[in-house]
Chain A
Amino acid sequence: MTEFFQSLGMSYEWAWGVATLAGILLIALPLMLAVAMIIYVDRKVWAAINLRRGPNVVGPFGLLQSFADGLKVFLQETVIPSAANKGIFILAPIVTFTVALAAWAVIPFSAEAVLADINVGLLYILAISSLSVYGIIMAGWASNSKYPFFSAMRASAQMISYEVSIGFILVCVVLFAGTFNLNDIVRAQEGFGLGFINAYVVHPLLFPMWVLFFISSLAETQRVPFDLTEAESELVAGYQTEYSSMSFALFWLGEYANILLMCMLNAILFFGGWLPPIDWEPLYMVPGIVWILLKTFFFFFMFSWVMATVPRYRYDQLMRLGWKVFLPISLLFVVVISGYLMATGHFGAAA
């Protein structure tokens, strides 16, 4: 895109700046629209599984429900508790939202449509997702109220615990792909399974890793059954108890942007990203962005499905699952997979 703006007669610096800004807007604005629609999908799926109708009043089939909600919070008054630590209280939702958007910089929507095609893309995602806990901790502490603080404590312990096993699962994928670059990870999956399936998940050593990754991504995004940070029955609304209006909406948008990111990572790392599911020539006529969005939507449906059917974990069960089940299994698989790759001579094929 930089070349295009340079061809309009700009200097390199200006062209780069304008191109980057345009790229950011091209990702962030559709993402916000997608978040609004995905909240609607979430509520509809949840309602259908509960044999309810879900939102059906605002607009045709209730399609405009999220926009009506957005308008409502926008018009509400922002309340800041008098005992709150004002600066951090205001900063916390901004941090959550910014961090949720920042991770999208390295996501490849198709072979070319990626804002920053960097070598350490996967590490960048891991780094950014480890930052997202700060918004919650800051909100919990700055609210100066006990339920948000409990929630912040739970959130930080939960996210740190599950990041450890997510890290090991990502190492397994990286061992197969031989690179941290997300585009190259997708390319490495071309014809991976039996020569015609474009997905890592079909490998018997990677399928258990995908199951672990899916459950960990539920925990990392604090979705049901791991939504102990906002357990209504115990903590009112968790870290967002004291928030209202736009500051609350920023948490909300950030949360769903993170969920979409995790769905997309499931698609990129284990299901071939922007590649069609089967390595068959006519399927490549469909643009890559359609495939990746379809896969992401499928994983989001699974997230909603889990939300509607599974009861919430107890906190000690959550910690046990993270440290005593997922961590040993993923650690074992790192060893087994590297041994397998060395033994079969695949190692470093793509590097």
Chain B
Amino acid sequence: MIQTFAFYMFAIIVIASAVMVITARNPVHSVLWLILAFFNAAGLMVLVGAEFIAMLLVIVYVGAVAVLFLFVVMMLDIDVAAMRAGFIKNFPLGIVVALVLLAELVLGIGAYNVGAIELGTPAAADAPAMAESNTAAIGALLYTRYIFLFEAAGIVLLVAMIGAIVLTHRPSKSKRGQQDIGKQVRRRPDEATVMKQPEVGKGIEL
């Protein structure tokens, strides 16, 4: 009963907040609703026993990706009226995208109803027995059977990261604004200050 209750609570909040993402007028509110949806999706994953994935979802998506996302949206100066004006122009394109998504949904549900598709995943009965915790189980699979895919994904991410750095990095030509931290730390009071006792009515030369 507790699980059923928790499932319906998480599921309703996920769907409701997903609807709010697209209906909220303020883009910042949209992002906050999206974060709520992520968080409750993590709750659903805990319910099916995938606690490791649930925690990763919160750490990576809610804790890092959505924060940056929220920031970009907060800094943007979004004019809602201008967006409304573009609505009519982009309407046909939107219809096309919606139709494609609808077709995919129909195909997917149809294929599911026909049943018995060979997806390469073991059937429930053949699935390997879960180890004591699913952290250990995921690790055991990821570092043995799927090691090549895992490392390939790592390389792809590394390349993307270096690409982003190369695109945004601009080496400064002038020396201004460059700091030598070692020099700053080494500095002592006696080399930074001088004691002078100027006479009355006279300035000092530094």
Enumerate chain A interface residues (CB-CB to B < 8 A): 13, 16-17, 85, 88, 118-120, 123-124, 126-128, 130-131, 133-134, 137-138, 141, 149, 153, 156, 160, 163, 167, 179-180, 316-317, 320, 351
Interface string of B46-64 (1 = CB under 8 A from A): 0000011001101100111
Interface string of B88-104 (1 = CB under 8 A from A): 00000000000000000
> Does the CB pair A120–B32 fall under 8 Å?
no
The answer for the CA separation of A257 and B35 in the assembled complex, in Å, is 23
The answer for the CA separation of A17 and B55 in the assembled complex, in Å, is 23
Known contacts A88-B32, A141-B28, A160 near B67 by CB under 8 Å: yes
Lowest 10 CB-CB distances: which A-B pairs, in order?
A130-B63, A127-B58, A123-B55, A119-B133, A127-B59, A120-B51, A13-B1, A127-B55, A120-B55, A141-B74
B23 CB-CB contact with A under 8 Å: no
Other 20 A-B pairs with CB < 8 A, given A127-B63, A180-B135: A17-B2, A88-B32, A118-B51, A119-B133, A120-B52, A123-B59, A127-B58, A130-B59, A130-B62, A130-B64, A137-B67, A137-B70, A137-B74, A138-B32, A156-B67, A156-B71, A160-B68, A167-B59, A179-B133, A351-B136
> Does the CB pair B67–A126 fall under 8 Å?
no
Complex: chain B residue closest to A11, CB-CB: B1
Q: Which chain A positions have C-beta within 8 A of B1?
A: 13
Q: Which chain A positions have C-beta within 8 A of B71?
A: 137, 153, 156
Q: Which chain B positions have C-beta within 8 A of A149?
A: 74
Distance in Å from the Cβ of A6 to the closest Cβ of chain B? 14
State which size class the interface on B falls in.
20 to 34
Enumerate chain B interface residues (CB-CB to A < 8 A): 1-2, 26, 28-29, 32, 35, 42, 51-52, 55-56, 58-59, 62-64, 67-68, 70-71, 74, 133-136, 179, 181
Q: Which chain A positions have C-beta within 8 A of B136?
A: 351
> Does the CB pair B62–A131 fall under 8 Å?
yes
> Does the CB pair A126–B51 fall under 8 Å?
no
> Does the CB pair A163–B135 fall under 8 Å?
no
User: How many A-B pairs with Cβ below 8 Å?
Assistant: 71
> Does the CB pair A119–B51 fall under 8 Å?
yes
The answer for the CA separation of A126 and B58 in the assembled complex, in Å, is 9
The answer for the CA separation of A56 and B2 in the assembled complex, in Å, is 50
The answer for the CA separation of A149 and B75 in the assembled complex, in Å, is 10
The answer for the CA separation of A264 and B71 in the assembled complex, in Å, is 31
The answer for the CA separation of A138 and B1 in the assembled complex, in Å, is 35
Known contacts A118-B51, A127-B58, A141-B28, A13 near B63 by CB under 8 Å: no
Distance in Å from the Cβ of A312 to the closest Cβ of chain B? 15
The answer for the CA separation of A126 and B56 in the assembled complex, in Å, is 10
Known contacts A118-B51, A119-B133, A137-B71, A131 near B32 by CB under 8 Å: no
Offer 19 A-B interface pairs, CB within 8 angstroms, sorted by A: A85-B26, A119-B133, A120-B52, A120-B135, A123-B56, A124-B55, A126-B59, A127-B59, A127-B62, A131-B58, A131-B63, A133-B63, A137-B70, A137-B74, A141-B28, A149-B74, A153-B71, A160-B67, A320-B181
Max chain B C-beta neighbours (<10 A), residue from A17, A85, A180 = A180
The answer for the CA separation of A124 and B181 in the assembled complex, in Å, is 36
The answer for the CA separation of A206 and B56 in the assembled complex, in Å, is 25
Q: Which chain A positions have C-beta within 8 A of B55?
A: 120, 123-124, 126-127
The answer for the CA separation of A210 and B17 in the assembled complex, in Å, is 40
The answer for the CA separation of A13 and B3 in the assembled complex, in Å, is 10
Distance in Å from the Cβ of A78 to the closest Cβ of chain B? 22
> Does the CB pair B64–A160 fall under 8 Å?
yes
Complex: chain B residue closest to A91, CB-CB: B32
